[in-house]
Amino acid sequence: MTPGPRDRSLRRRALLGAGGLAALAAGGAALAAGDPAVRAPAGPLAPPAPVPFHGPHQAGILTPRQPCARLAALDLAPGADRARAAALLRAWTAAAERMSRGKAPGDTAADTGVALGGGPASLTVTFGFGAGFFERVGLGPARPGALAPLPAFPDDRLDPARSDGDLFVQVGADDPFAAVHALRALQRSARGVAATRWEMAGFTGPPGVGSAGATHRNLMGQLDGTANPAPAGDPALRGRILVETPDTPGWLRGGSYVVVRRIRMLLDHWEGLPEHHREEAVGRRVADGAPLTGGTEHTPVDLEAARPDGVPVIAANAHVRLAAPKGNSGATMLRRGWSYYDGPRPDGAPDAGMLFVAWQSDPRTGFVPVQHRLARGDALARYVVHEASALFVAPRGAMPGEWVGQSLLEG
């Protein structure tokens, strides 16, 4: 089938961001040879509609996951007080709002125009505060209890340099150029006020592409996100993702908490397993993501099903069993994770895995109980290493004329 103009555009930009220069060069050779399947579109492409920046909650939380992500944490510089932090958030809000419409961020003298012509690219920019932020700007009493440090888990091998941080920025986009451009603009704006502590890049498949449509595979080859909640039309689920209780401070009502974990996958070991072993560890079929108890990808998992000999079809240590809300007092998270592949490590093993990004209304009833249960026997645990961890609170969204965090920093 001949790809449409938008498919070709997305593919071209995604290849550049995911190490696909060789594939792009091959496509160029075919074009030079006159291959009609890769011929350039005849006319200009209509850019997608921008994702609105303003609203009661920040874009990038309930927004459908984009193919490209840049995640970063920054630490406030010594002497960066409340007034300077407020000025930074004001500048960040203005720049992010402009870039979400496909416009330059505002610092035209320094901006190289690297994303010019790409349109809005479904760009979202989401801001969060770490626990240290509140102390450094003199707002310690305002720090929410749910922002307490995450507990240590048995299998953690966390690198402090790639964990935590005062400020969090999540950039998502359909176009890797737009994502990089947005983060670079924010980092320039922060000079003298905050410095980047860590930065991570992630990717997934383009929208609607893949064997299961919207559900993409991770680097273990498994469909990832099948059981993700859909809170948009379900008020009960929405309340497990966004903080909306009546006693919530105004600056946080409509906000959320996000857990970020860098989880390296031991692919050399995983890829050497027979397929049935990989399926039993997860509890789903590789081919279509259906549970081992039968049906299709979205058929509910029957945790009570047993074989004729009485052995559960879903093993006691299968990932889907231990992670299921039913076994975790209804714990719910909205995952917007991305894969990463950073080449070989010094030992030759691939430095690859998942940037686990999970939004929830309270990590104490969301991520923490689920991770405790997984740490006690998840079959996948022997094939992954948790290398970095952070927790942030995202304030409510900014309405037109406001900036993100305004009611906290000016309150």
**Catalytic site residues?**
224
Return all residues near 171 (Cβ < 8 A) that are at least 6 apart.
69, 70, 71, 72, 123, 124, 125, 126, 179, 182, 183
Tell me which residue of 189, 282, 251 sits closest to 57, measured CA to CA.
251
Q: What kind and span of H or E run contains 370?
A: helix 367-375
Whether the Cβ atoms of residue 238 and residue 232 lie closer than 8 Å to each other: yes
Determine the 3-state secondary structure of 272 from DSSP.
coil
User: 365: exposed, middle or buried (C-beta count within 10 Å: 0-12, 13-18, 19+)?
Assistant: middle
C-alpha span between 56 and 53 (Å, rounded): 10
Which token pair is 227?
A: 């059981």
Give the CA-trace dihedral at 289, 294, 300, 304, to 10 degrees.
-130
C-alpha span between 357 and 338 (Å, rounded): 8
Tell me which residue of 145, 86, 404 sits closest to 255, measured CA to CA.
404
C-alpha span between 220 and 311 (Å, rounded): 26
* Alpha-carbon torsion (205, 188, 87, 141), positive or negative: positive
C-alpha span between 243 and 28 (Å, rounded): 49
Give the CA-trace dihedral at 181, 350, 74, 66, to 10 degrees.
40
Tell me which residue of 313, 281, 286, 312 sits closest to 297, measured CA to CA.
286
Residue with structure tokens 């850019």?
A: 47
